[in-house]
Amino acid sequence: MALEFTDANFETEVLKSEQLSVVDFWAEWCGPCRAIGPVIEELSKEYTGKVKIGKVNVDVNPDVSIKFGITSIPAILFIKNGVVVDKQIGAVPKSVLDKKIQAHI
């Protein structure tokens, strides 16, 4: 199951992690966000123990969203050692996200 990243745990769970983190910035009211949600869940199961995959609800966690300049959702950031190494804006097929993950693990 995808992790829940928040303003409170983002630094510890994502920025200080040595593992690649895939962070889906989303909101309940966003149709494309809901469409990509099952893909994020599938990837989180497939990469358990290898990649941290989770979601940030932008309505509940504005600090992290502002810090990373999130203006469009869904926005998926790929973060490794505290640095954004890749990003994807908008809903895309699972294969696109899988390819980006493979490039950074």
pLDDT band (50, 70, 90) for residue 32: very high
pLDDT at 90: 96
Cβ(20)–Cβ(104) below 8 Å: yes
Mean pLDDT in residue range 76-91:
97
What's the average model confidence in pLDDT over 28-51?
Answer: 97
**How far apart (Å, rounded) are the C-alpha atoms in residues 55 and 43?**
12
Q: Is 33 annotated as catalytic? A: yes
pLDDT the model gives residue 51: 97
pTM of the complete model: 0.96
Whether 17 is catalytic is no
CA 17, CA 27: separation in Å to the nearest integer?
24
The active-site residue out of 2, 23, 30, 75 is 30
Mean of the pLDDT values across residues 91-102? 97
Identify the active-site residue in 2, 23, 33, 101. Answer: 33
Which CATH number fits the domain 3-104, given the four candidates 2.10.60.10, 3.50.50.60, 3.40.30.10, 3.30.310.80?
Answer: 3.40.30.10
Rounded average pLDDT over 6-13: 98
